[in-house]
Chains A and B, each alone.
Chain A
């Protein structure tokens, strides 16, 4: 029984990833330390290294983009978590098997539906020219106000977060033994307290994983803020794209990319560590 060496099998993927992913990422890091020459696409190859592109990011106008991205993402992830948990609980414990199958089909279909289509649908329905315009105006909400646009961007994120987080949490809730909840109720705890001391703590890892995924998705979102934000709410991703498309400032775009990359990786790392540590205990 001679086994072919595994290394050989790693070759195709290893090659593709080295050339089109890891090397480009290394190049991006290098580019971020190069000075920007106006009118030139990409930095001069042997230009001296500089920190100027990062210093620029510390100005208040740039920090504003980061805080805005984090603020809206955090809001959408937390709201999404509450929505998804109630939905997942309802589907697992309150629905008939048939209803459950329909609900799961609905969420899986949504998950596969193009983000672009959903974003367009939200803009068409709730945007400034949509069918609800008169209704919004009558309750004193201006569809072009900044607050409304921010909520619309969060709604766009939620449209993606809720189906995926609900599907993730279904498994989590299915793994919580319903007999524990019944026992708590039999012993006299009202339903809300039984949930607070049984269902929620036992779902903690699933909730954390869902939150991590939602937050990481949100801060790197691109199309959703681009279309629903209408240029007034910009996420960090949009800023990177603008650096490239409007002024072709590659070094600055690279520096912003490196920061966004670092933030995403940190979030993933911290949460995975936290979940693993809890599992080990």
Chain B
């Protein structure tokens, strides 16, 4: 009797898992196929003919290209600042005693639990009171706030994982503290720093909720441009952009796997 129930549950679990994997993968596959659809309307699958017309349409559309330019520039500048600030803060956190560290970590990770729309709206009200109307400056402020928690957390994990005796040995052997940092701490924390940088890049490139509040007429990010054209009309240029972004994600994952290893990203348990 027990056996039969077990088999039933195990079968049900298997079916459910298959269903979830399909649910996760099928929309992405459908989008990838539709991006190459030669028809000018949304028709049933599979498409009768393939073409790259939606890709060329994207690359000849000034509205999207402008957004792409702003997004990439913003993401790169954000990552630079965010990584620098993250590393400095992580070093400070690692040096503090555990109580101060706990308090400061909570403070600096707090943007992760505040709903992004609230953060965006608060920054919008504040900066418009100050008279800051430059779209790029406003976007940079918002993006720094949502990316720094990731760089701090990733770097801190890297720094805390370093055996303290290594730094102490260097100091005992006569190295100055600055040298000990650049020769010991920094190389060992590198994986954490890279991880944090990649997270910051992805978060900055994908954000809608904050950016949509802080854009101006000329400075808008690609996701904001995509959202507004998604609400206006449903054409397959967006599917083409999605395919490009999927490609970018895969490239980032490969970089991550080569430099850090995916297991490092998710952590490991005891009984594998």
Query: Among A47-55, A58-66, A137-145, A172-180, which stretch is in contact with chain B?
Result: A172-180
Q: Which one of A216, A223, A254, A264 has the highest number of Cβ atoms from chain B below 10 Å of its Cβ?
A: A223
Which residue in B30, B111, B212, B250 is a CB contact (below 8 Å) of A21? B111
Take A6-B92, A120-B31 as given contacts and tell me if A28 and B245 are in contact as well, using a CB distance cutoff of 8 Å: no
| CB-CB contacts below 8 Å: A237-269 with B | 237, 240-241, 244, 250, 253-254, 257, 260-261, 264-265, 268
B223 and A114 within 8 A (CB) = yes
A31 and B208 within 8 A (CB) = no
- Indicate the size class of the contact surface on chain A: 35 or more
Q: Is B77 an interface residue (CB 8 A)?
A: no
Which residue in B3, B205, B271 is a CB contact (below 8 Å) of A175? B271
Take A10-B92, A117-B245, A175-B270 as given contacts and tell me if A227 and B227 are in contact as well, using a CB distance cutoff of 8 Å: yes
Q: Which one of B91, B177, B245, B269 has the highest number of Cβ atoms from chain A below 10 Å of its Cβ?
A: B269
A83, B12: Cα distance in complex, Å: 12
B27 and A13 within 8 A (CB) = no
Q: Is A163 an interface residue (CB 8 A)?
A: yes
**Which residue of chain A has its CB nearest to the CB of B14?**
A90
Q: Measured between C-beta atoms, what is the minimum distance from B7 to chain A in Å?
A: 9
**Which residue of chain A has its CB nearest to the CB of B146?**
A21
**Which residue of chain A has its CB nearest to the CB of B33?**
A131
A264 and B114 within 8 A (CB) = yes
B27 and A121 within 8 A (CB) = yes
Take A86-B17, A112-B252, A176-B271 as given contacts and tell me if A121 and B92 are in contact as well, using a CB distance cutoff of 8 Å: no
Q: Is B189 an interface residue (CB 8 A)?
A: no
Which residue in B113, B124, B209, B262 is a CB contact (below 8 Å) of A108? B262
Take A129-B42, A220-B117 as given contacts and tell me if A113 and B249 are in contact as well, using a CB distance cutoff of 8 Å: yes
Q: Is B88 an interface residue (CB 8 A)?
A: yes
Q: Is A24 an interface residue (CB 8 A)?
A: yes
A112 and B249 within 8 A (CB) = yes
Taking CB atoms, residues of chain A closer than 8 Å to B125 are 24, 27-28, 31, 42, 250, 254
Q: Measured between C-beta atoms, what is the minimum distance from A269 to chain B in Å?
A: 9
Q: Measured between C-beta atoms, what is the minimum distance from B88 to chain A in Å?
A: 5
A174, B272: Cα distance in complex, Å: 5
Taking CB atoms, residues of chain A closer than 8 Å to B245 are 113-114, 117
Query: Could you tell me the dominant secondary structure of chain B's interface residues?
Result: helix
B148 and A16 within 8 A (CB) = yes
**Which residue of chain B has its CB nearest to the CB of A23?**
B126
- Indicate the size class of the contact surface on chain B: 35 or more
Take A4-B177, A24-B123, A190-B6 as given contacts and tell me if A12 and B85 are in contact as well, using a CB distance cutoff of 8 Å: yes
B6 and A191 within 8 A (CB) = yes
Q: Is B173 an interface residue (CB 8 A)?
A: no
A264 and B115 within 8 A (CB) = yes
B92 and A131 within 8 A (CB) = no
B96 and A6 within 8 A (CB) = yes
**Which residue of chain A has its CB nearest to the CB of B266?**
A167
**Which residue of chain B has its CB nearest to the CB of A178?**
B271
Q: Is B55 an interface residue (CB 8 A)?
A: no
| CB-CB contacts below 8 Å: B220-272 with A | 223, 226-227, 230-231, 234, 238-239, 241-242, 245-246, 249-250, 252-253, 256-257, 262-263, 265-272
A240 and B118 within 8 A (CB) = yes
**Which residue of chain B has its CB nearest to the CB of A219?**
B115
B95 and A241 within 8 A (CB) = no
Take A20-B141, A268-B113 as given contacts and tell me if A190 and B3 are in contact as well, using a CB distance cutoff of 8 Å: yes
**Which residue of chain B has its CB nearest to the CB of A126?**
B27
A265 and B31 within 8 A (CB) = no
Q: Measured between C-beta atoms, what is the minimum distance from B139 to chain A in Å?
A: 12
Q: Is A274 an interface residue (CB 8 A)?
A: no
A162 and B223 within 8 A (CB) = no
B31 and A125 within 8 A (CB) = yes
Q: Measured between C-beta atoms, what is the minimum distance from A222 to chain B in Å?
A: 4
| CB-CB contacts below 8 Å: B184-226 with A | 202, 205-206, 208-209, 212-213, 223, 226
Take A108-B253, A159-B24, A174-B268 as given contacts and tell me if A192 and B9 are in contact as well, using a CB distance cutoff of 8 Å: yes
B→A interface (CB under 8 Å): 1-3, 5-6, 9-10, 13-14, 16-17, 20-21, 23-24, 26-28, 30-31, 34, 42, 44-45, 84-86, 88-89, 91-92, 95-96, 100, 104, 107-108, 110-111, 113-119, 121-129, 141-142, 144-145, 148, 152, 171, 177, 202, 205-206, 208-209, 212-213, 223, 226-227, 230-231, 234, 238-239, 241-242, 245-246, 249-250, 252-253, 256-257, 262-263, 265-272
16 A-B pairs in the complex with CB atoms less than 8 angstroms apart: A7-B92, A9-B91, A20-B145, A25-B119, A87-B17, A87-B20, A104-B266, A114-B242, A116-B208, A118-B27, A120-B230, A120-B238, A124-B27, A163-B24, A174-B272, A192-B9
Shortest 9 CB-CB distances between A and B: which pairs?
A: A174-B269, A190-B2, A220-B115, A9-B92, A24-B126, A24-B122, A121-B27, A222-B209, A191-B6
